[in-house]
A and B are shown apart, each in its own frame.
Chain A
Amino acid sequence: MRTTSLALLAVAITATASVTAAVTPGPASDTRASMPSDLSVTVYRSPNRAAGSIDLDALGGFALISETRTVHLPAGVSRLRFEGVADGIEPASAIVTGLGAAVIEKNREGKLLSPSALLEAAVGKPVTLLRTDQRTGKSSRVIGTIVSDAEGGVMFETAAGVEALRCSGLPESLSFSAATDLAATPTLSALVQSSQPMTETVTLSYLARGFDWAADYSATVSADGKTMDLGAWVTLANGNGAGFAQARTQVVAGRVNRESGEVEPIDVGGPILAQCWPRGSTSDPPSYLQRQRAFPEADAGAALETMIVGAARLVAPAPMALRALAKKVEQEQLGDLKLYRVPERTTVASRQSKQVRLLDREGIPVTTVYDADMPAGGDGYSRPARRLLRTLNNSANHLGLPLPSGHIAVFAIHRGETLLEHESGIRDLAVAEELEINMGESPDVRVESTRLDDVTHVNITNARAVSIEFELRLQLPAGGRVVGADHPQGIKDGRPIFRLTIPADETLTLQYRTEHMTAQLRRANCIARAPPW
């Protein structure tokens, strides 16, 4: 027991670096939990993103982190410190389980050890001022008191009088004698009471911000366009300063409810600024020029952006041999959510994005459909049609598994080479739902609509060498309806739809007649006449 506490003390001294280890005031003795022996990280998606990739610059998701740590508690009241928790911790969510002793309270200190924190703690206390003669290198020490550190300026007082720090042009520095009990990294502590000394294995769980994940799909459409192969990665990222080595890693799909609970910020402190009085001189140029608005330089953010384009957005389909080798995540049901378990322990390092294989399916039958969705009776309306790849998410189509939302890149084989065709997003799809991949606008298929009185003419032109399936959906105003058309009309989701086949290199003309509010209104007015006053 004695050797253990000595070892802990040694850790304490190294952790606080140049500052001498201090004993926290108060009756409670300090005890440090060991660093985690087992870690579990479950990453949740940003609740605001329905589809698409993660944004490494703004990771809007979060994670549940569970750390298994060993603690040695003395008898009596002690302050148990968990150091090195994630910087994005939501302190209110922290749970400690497996502790035999009674927890009196849990705390998260919001202040970290920094130059400004040292200075703040030293206000009103004696410090040593170090002045070095630049010519001789000789330094003189003067004992003084810090009178103020307000608004970034430092005033101190010595026997000679009151002076401002670093305003004289001489090299000046402060040397602090009083140490602080501030921690170097975000720390959670629990005040616990134990009747006897004990050694326990406890689990600390908490939610932390600054994580996210998304599925990144890549589909390869066969040369005939009738089938596709679908592969996907789970891309997860950690934007925290803390890393999680050899962690059991899971991701959860489905939207979970999050309240905008405020998290008390951590004060990481700052440098000692030593702001001075105005120091303009007669040789200063007149300030005619207004200071230009500062724009951030192309920095790490841009570099990350480039990296994610390489790593995540354009996930080229993996060769067959590699696909067989890749270890995939295992899916299980978690209440109404889907949990994906990374098969092996992995290190979720700080500021890192990581990819694990989600699925690989081949020979999925797809149909290509062109569609347009326009207001009924549109006049002077002309635009390219949209191309869609459609299939049903069931086992007959070699799918039939939940597809978490994300980003999809569709590739096509052209002369033996794989080329990117289109990129779009996918929302969460349950089994037996229709999977519709947006392939973008097609310049070869255009829709043109003109109206004369109540007859609308729609010209659909097909400049492709094959005949295509086309769907035209109409948006009707309330009470409006299509009263006649020269092609068979259907209804989809309460709206009229025309399902048409357009032969290669041909134009199809569709005519339909609509009845609008006005006609109905005339009839309605005959029935419900206004009272005669």
Chain B
Amino acid sequence: MAARFFVIGCVLGLLGEASAIAADRTLSVTIYNNDLALVQDRRDIDVKGGRQRIEFQDVSAQIRPETVSLTAADVGIVEQNFDFDLLTPSKMMEKAVGHEVTIVRVNPASGAETREQAEVLATNAGVVLKIGQHIEVLRDDGLPVRVIFDKVPDNLRARPTLSVTVIGARAGTRPATLSYLTPGLGWKADYVALYNESDSKIDVQGWVTLTNSSGVTYDDARTLLVAGSPTEVQGEGYGGDSRQPNYYRRQAARPTLQQAGTMSGSRERLGDYYLYPIAERTTIANLQTKQVSFLDVAGVPAEHGYEFRNAWLGTADAPQSAKSIYSFSTSAHAGLGDQLPAGILRFYLRDKRGDPQFIGESRIDHTPMGSTLSLATGDAFDVKVRAVVDKRTRLGNSHWQSDMRYELSNALPRPVSVKLIQDGLWGDSRITAESIKSTRRSAEAAEWAVTVPANGNASLTASFDTRF
């Protein structure tokens, strides 16, 4: 028991000038959408008066040291350091170059120990020691030799450590707030939607999902989630960012927001961001995924339909599946009645036994209240479209007539309506003839509503006059 006390005393001695790890700790964590969090860590520090170094352990391992700020009454900051030289056996030996260590040779036959003092000369590919007047390579003969160091060098630690050197105007214990930004903490929303085929209604549950890969656990933290990304993420390409205008995005990115809402709700805001506070203090453990409910609505009317988008001059030998689309509103009447933070919405449908089965998922962006969302869950097995370029006729310099035919088939025992979209009509393209009246969604796309009879086929033809 005496030995144990000695050890603990020794460890405290290592920390140098002063240590400031107090039990009274209040953590608050504000998490943004783009892998960023603001951590405010309030602890009591023991100010000695005068110059003093304070070490903060249990801060995020991914801390952005340039964002650290410490505030306490009557304390001035001299400098802040973030030491990330980690304590490993080879670093320890490297730092011992030019210094004395104790070596203990153990006789393998008798177990007898011989102690010697040695100076470490070099540690390149092997440890070279000077013992008395002789130069030796450590454990060159493979026999057991223990190396004992007197102490751990000041700036080697098990974890990256933040230290602040301060000047205290007066001595005494007082609260200090350490705040910093860190990646590694993030959140998103996850939605579960159960669609009822008999009355075309959905039940939706929303969960916020917190993830922590920042390397430490935040105990009993007051947690606030901000639906927004306050800093521009560097190095983000055009592909995934839904805020980019349409022409930067890949064809596959289908717009999910049909009508942006104009309703304001009762949710708390910060500037233009919505806030989702977590009611109770919670512990966010390292590598943990945590979910807290924020939305639970039942019986929202929803529509199920089909959509097929054909690229310009898209032609296919084999029929392609139409997309299966579910659309609903987020308005207060006949809708979800809330703002939806960005996330993934998973659709479920009951099978013949009544068990919910997964039928696909779709990503949504931050969605204001009162919006109309139209989400694709996947490809329809039984509803297919074959687009064919029947003829291309040249009418002049870069002036073409393209005759398109779209053949739709439906293997379902009920008629379906397919929203057929022909993309890529930019410039002054016109539709000169068509078998069903189209609506022009934009300069870029024309749209037809084609009804396909039960277990039957339908066909649509259209001629496009283009100057590109």
Contact = CB atoms under 8 A, between A and B. Distances in A.
Interface stretch (A107-115, A218-226, A289-297): A107-115
Contacts of A26: 283
Interface residues of B, number: 118
Interface in B207-254: 207, 209, 211, 213
B93 A257 contact: no
Interface string A478-502: 1100000000000101100000000
A264 interface: yes
Interface in B180-218: 188, 190, 192, 195, 197, 205, 207, 209, 211, 213
A103 interface: yes
A524 B7 contact: no
A46 B349 CA distance: 20
A177 to B, nearest CB: 11
Given A430-B381, A432-B411, A162 B289 contact: no
Interface string B129-148: 00000000111111111111
A111 B286 contact: yes
Contact of B211 (A103, A256, A264): A264
B359 A143 contact: no
Contacts of B389: 494
Contacts of A91: 209, 289, 291
Contacts of A104: 280, 292
A323 interface: no
Given A126-B4, A163-B146, A279-B139, A493 B317 contact: yes
B23 interface: no
A92 B344 contact: yes
A304 interface: no
A72 interface: no
Contact of A255 (B106, B207, B378, B395): B378
B127 A110 contact: no
B318 interface: yes
A134 B291 contact: no
Nearest to A42: B357
Given A148-B158, A259-B362, A430-B384, A402 B147 contact: no
Contacts of A279: 126-127, 138-139
B344 A261 contact: yes
Contacts of A517: 394
Contacts of B179: none
A335 B349 contact: yes
Contact of B11 (A145, A258, A280, A337): A145
Interface string A124-162: 101000000111100000011111111111110111111
Contacts of B280: 104
A93 B361 CA distance: 11
B381 A338 contact: yes
A527 interface: yes
B381 A254 contact: yes
Given A334-B351, A494-B405, A135 B158 contact: no
Contacts of A261: 344, 361
A339 B352 CA distance: 10
Interface in B357-400: 357-363, 376-384, 386, 388-397, 399-400
A150 B91 CA distance: 10
Nearest to A430: B411
Nearest to B403: A494
A431 B383 CA distance: 10
A411 B453 CA distance: 38
Contacts of B395: 524
A491 B188 CA distance: 52
Interface of B: 3-4, 6-8, 10-11, 86-90, 92-94, 102, 104, 106, 108-111, 123-127, 137-152, 156-159, 188, 190, 192, 195, 197, 205, 207, 209, 211, 213, 278, 280, 282-283, 285-293, 304, 315, 317-319, 321, 324, 344, 346, 349, 351-352, 355-363, 376-384, 386, 388-397, 399-400, 405, 409, 411-412, 455
Of all A-B residue pairs in the complex, the 6 with the closest CB atoms, nearest first, are A110-B287, A280-B126, A164-B89, A150-B86, A148-B87, A148-B158
27 contacts: A26-B283, A92-B190, A107-B285, A107-B289, A110-B287, A111-B285, A111-B286, A123-B158, A135-B109, A135-B110, A136-B111, A145-B11, A147-B158, A150-B157, A164-B92, A168-B104, A169-B144, A253-B381, A254-B378, A257-B361, A259-B363, A279-B126, A279-B139, A430-B411, A479-B394, A494-B315, A494-B388
Interface of A: 26, 40, 42, 44, 64, 66, 91-95, 103-111, 123-124, 126, 133-136, 143-155, 157-165, 167-170, 205, 207, 250, 252-259, 261, 264-267, 275-284, 332-339, 402, 427-428, 430-433, 478-479, 491, 493-494, 517, 520-521, 524-525, 527-528
